[in-house]
Chain A
Amino acid sequence: MKKSIANWGNYPVMESDEQQFSFDDQLVQLVKKTTHFIPRGNGRCYGDASLAPQTISTLKYDKILSFDTATGVFECQSGLVLDKILEVIVPKGWFLPVTPGTKFITVGGAVGSDVHGKNHHVDGSFSNHIVDMDVILSSGEVVTCSPTEHVDLFEATCGGMGLTGMISRVKFRLKKIETSYIKQKQIKADNLEHIIQLFEEYQHYTYSVAWIDCLKKGKGFGRSILILGEHATVNDLNEKQRKDPLQLPKKKQITFPFNLPSWVLNAFTVKAFNFLYYGKNFKKEINNVVGYEPFYYPLDAILHWNRGYGKPGFVQYQFVIPMHAKQGLIEILKRISDKGLGSFLAVLKVFGKQESLISFPEEGYTLALDIPVRKGLFEILDELDQIVLKYGGRLYMSKDARMKPEVLEAGYPRLDEFKAIVKKYNPDGKFRSVQSDRLLLTPGIATTGSRVQVTGAKEQVNA
C-alpha cells in the first residue's frame, strides 16, 4: 500500500509502497518478487536508512519462537518489538543483553543497526549476544549465519543496515536479573574535564551515560550529569518493591499531540531547558532505586516526542572519536556551542573496545545530539564531519540522513570488505535504501547513476 513514511527524525519524508506479511512462506515470496526494497521495522532509526520507494514491513512478523527460561536463550521473528520482549522476559528474571534508549525498535532493526546501550563498555553491542540468525537472500534462499557459520554474512549483517538480505529469525542470549529495578547514581560534573574524569573513575559500573549541556560557555563548558546504574538485587529494594521484585512497570504514557511550531526550539529555550535540567539535581550526587523504564527509556513515556521538533524534523548527529582524541571532543563541542546547535538531548558516553566490520561502536567517546533541520544546517554538519575525521572518528549510519559517501569511507576502514560481502549476497542491489544509494553502498548503482531521489526533502529543509 502506498503511504508517506519517515523515520524518527521526520526527515526526510517520502512516498513508499509498503508491503506486509505474517508468515515465512509469504516473506520468501515477497522477497523473490519485489524488484528492490529495504526491510523496515518500527522506523526508529533517525534518517533515511529504512526508507525506499518500496519497503517490506516486518511489524506483523513478530512471533516468539522459543524462550529457554533456564538458560535465557530467546528466539523470535525479526519484527518483534523490544517492548513486547520485556513484557515476557522480565517477569521470568531476564533482561535484554543490550538495549538502546528506546524500547520501540524491532529485533531486526537492533541487528541491522547493531545497536548499543549504556553498557557498551562492559557488554558490547547487540550482535555480541546473537547465537545465530536467518537471513533471506535476494534469491529467496534462507541462510543461517552466526559467529561460526557463514561468518562473512553474519558480520556484514550486524550493523549492515539491511543490505545483505532480510533478517527473518534471530536467536540471542539474555541477561539474568534478580529484580526489575535499577540502582541508580547521578553525579553532577562541573565541566568537560570533570565528566571525563568521572567516566574513568566509574568505568566499573555496568551502565553509564551522561547528559551534557552543549551551549554552556566559559568555566562550565561541558557541564554534565553522569547517570550510572546497576541491576538492583532484592536487598536493594524497599519492602513494597520486595513483594514482587520482577514486577513490570505500569503503562503510563502520554502522547505529544501535534507538531510544535519550529520556532519554539531556539538557542534561548534550549539554554533555559539546560539550566533547569542541570539545576534540578540540587545535590552533587543522588542515589536511588528506580524502575527500569525511567532508567533506560525516559523518553518512551512521551509517545511521538519527535513532534517537538516541528514539521521540518530533526537530525541526530552521533559520532565516536578515539579515547586519545579528547582534544577533538573539545573542538567539536566548542563548534557546536558557537553555532548554537545545542539540543535538549545531548548524550555523551564511553564505548569499550569493539572489533567489527561495519558496526558503529569503537573504543572512545560518543556524543549524540538532536538538531532541528533548518537552512544551512547541513553545511555546518559537513564541517563537523571534517573535525570528526581529523581525529580518527566516524558517524553512526542509523542516525544519519545527510553524510557524504567520502565521510563514511574515511571513518570505516573495512568498508571495502563490507561492500564486497554485500555484493556477494545482494548482487543486483535488490536490498537498497535511500541511504545506501546516497552512500554508494548499493551494488550495481554506483556506476549507473540511477540513484533514488527523495521527493519532498528539499522543501522540508526550506520550510
Chain B
Amino acid sequence: MSTILILGAASDMAMAIANKYAAEGHAIQLAARNAQRLKALQSDIAIRHNVTCTAHEFDALNFTAHQAFFDQLPVKPDITICVFGYLGENETARANWAESEKIIHTNYTGAVSILNVVSNYYAAQKKGVIAGISSVAGERGRQSNYIYGSAKAGFTAYLSGLRNRMFHEGIHVVSVQPGFVYTAMTANLTLPPLLTAMPEQVANTVYKAVAKKKNVVYVKWFWRWIMLIIKSIPEFMFKKLKM
C-alpha cells in the first residue's frame, strides 16, 4: 500500500484518480484550496474503499506556502499527482491581465512551485513518483486558447526536464496529455464524443502509466496522432487556420 497525494483534489478528474487509487487499496491525501469542499470527498473515499483518506488545505497560487504545506503532511506521499488547472476564458484573458495571470499561475507557476518542493524531497529520499496532468493544448498554440495552451506548454516542458533530471535520482515522472474530458471545467463546451474521455478513463490511464513507468501518455490513443499532424502543419499555413 502506498500513499497518494492528489493536488487539486476537488475536480472531477482528480476525484476519479483518487477513487481509482483508493479502489486499489492505497491511502489518499486530498489537497485543494477549499477545505470545506473536501470533507464530503474525504468521507466518501474512506467509506467506499475502506482506506485512509485525509484532507489538506492547499492553494496552488500561494507559492510561498508550498514548502510548509509539504512539510506539514503527516505522512509523506509515495506518489504525487498534480491535477489542478484552470481553463479560463481566452477572450477575457486577452484584455484582462488578472485572468491571464490566473491562467498562467495556476497551470504553470503554481505547478512548478509545488513540484519543486516535492521533487527535491524525492531526490533526497531517492524514492517517489510524480505525475503531472498537462494538456494537448500545450503542444501548439491556437488562437482559441493560446494563453491556457502556453501555460500548459510551459508545464509540459517542465515535466520533461524534471523527468530528465529525476531519472538520474531513480525517480520517475509521468506526463499525462488528456485531450478533451467531460468535466465541470468543460461542461459548457460542446465536445466531439469520439475524442472526449470520461474522467474515469483518465484515472485508468494515470494509474497504468505510473505502474508501467510510462513517460508521456495520451488518454485516447489517437490524440497522439492528431497532435502529431497538428504539430507538423507548416507555420505559414497554420497561422491562416481558424482553430
Contact = CB atoms under 8 A, between A and B. Distances in A.
Indicate, yes or no, whether A interacts with B.
yes
A77 B47 contact: no
Interface stretch (A5-13, A58-66, A444-452): A58-66
A23 B34 CA distance: 10
Interface stretch (B36-44, B91-99, B161-169, B215-223): B36-44
A64 B187 contact: no
B48 interface: yes
A49 to B, nearest CB: 25
B47 A64 contact: yes
Nearest to A74: B47
Given A25-B34, A63-B40, 9 more contacts: A1-B188, A20-B184, A22-B184, A23-B34, A24-B37, A25-B37, A64-B43, A66-B47, A87-B48
B28 interface: no
Interface in A36-71: 60, 63-67
Q: Which of B34, B48, B188 has the most CB of A within 10 A?
A: B48
Contacts of B48: 64, 84, 87-88
Contacts of A20: 184, 187
B10 interface: yes
Interface of A: 1, 20, 22-25, 60, 63-67, 77, 84, 87-88
22 contacts: A1-B187, A1-B188, A22-B37, A22-B184, A23-B10, A24-B36, A24-B37, A25-B37, A60-B12, A63-B40, A63-B41, A63-B43, A64-B43, A64-B44, A64-B47, A65-B40, A65-B43, A65-B44, A66-B47, A84-B48, A88-B47, A88-B48
Interface string B1-28: 0000000001010000000000000000
B47 A23 contact: no
The 6 closest A-B pairs by CB, nearest first: A63-B44, A63-B40, A64-B47, A23-B37, A64-B44, A67-B47
Given A23-B10, A64-B48, A66-B47, A77 B40 contact: yes
Dominant secondary structure of chain B at its interface with chain A: helix
Given A1-B188, A20-B187, A25 B44 contact: no
A66 B10 contact: no
Interface in B45-59: 47-48
A324 B243 CA distance: 72
Contacts of A87: 48
Given A64-B47, A65-B43, A66-B47, A25 B36 contact: yes
Nearest to B189: A1
Contacts of B34: 23, 25
Most buried by B among A24, A64, A66, A67: A64
Contacts of A63: 40-41, 43-44
Contacts of A65: 40, 43-44
A42 B42 CA distance: 24
Interface in B175-196: 184, 187-188
Contacts of A66: 43, 47
Contacts of B40: 23-24, 63, 65, 77
Contacts of B12: 22, 60
Contacts of B41: 63
A20 B10 CA distance: 15
A380 to B, nearest CB: 41
Nearest to B15: A22
B33 to A, nearest CB: 12
A16 to B, nearest CB: 15
B190 to A, nearest CB: 9
Contacts of A60: 12, 184
Nearest to A23: B37
Contacts of A23: 10, 34, 37, 40
A60 B40 CA distance: 12
Nearest to B188: A1
A24 B36 CA distance: 9
A305 B34 CA distance: 42
Nearest to B41: A63
B79 to A, nearest CB: 23
A25 B40 CA distance: 12
A318 to B, nearest CB: 34
B15 to A, nearest CB: 8
Contacts of B10: 22-23
Contacts of B47: 64, 66-67, 88
A66 to B, nearest CB: 6
A64 to B, nearest CB: 5
A29 B34 CA distance: 16
A84 B184 CA distance: 22
A124 to B, nearest CB: 26
Contacts of A24: 36-37, 40
Nearest to B184: A22
A463 to B, nearest CB: 27
A131 B99 CA distance: 46
A366 B235 CA distance: 72
Interface string B191-218: 0000000000000000000000000000
A60 B44 CA distance: 13
Interface string B150-180: 0000000000000000000000000000000
A64 B41 CA distance: 8
Contacts of A77: 40
A1 B184 CA distance: 12
B38 to A, nearest CB: 10
Nearest to B46: A64
Nearest to A75: B43
B35 to A, nearest CB: 12
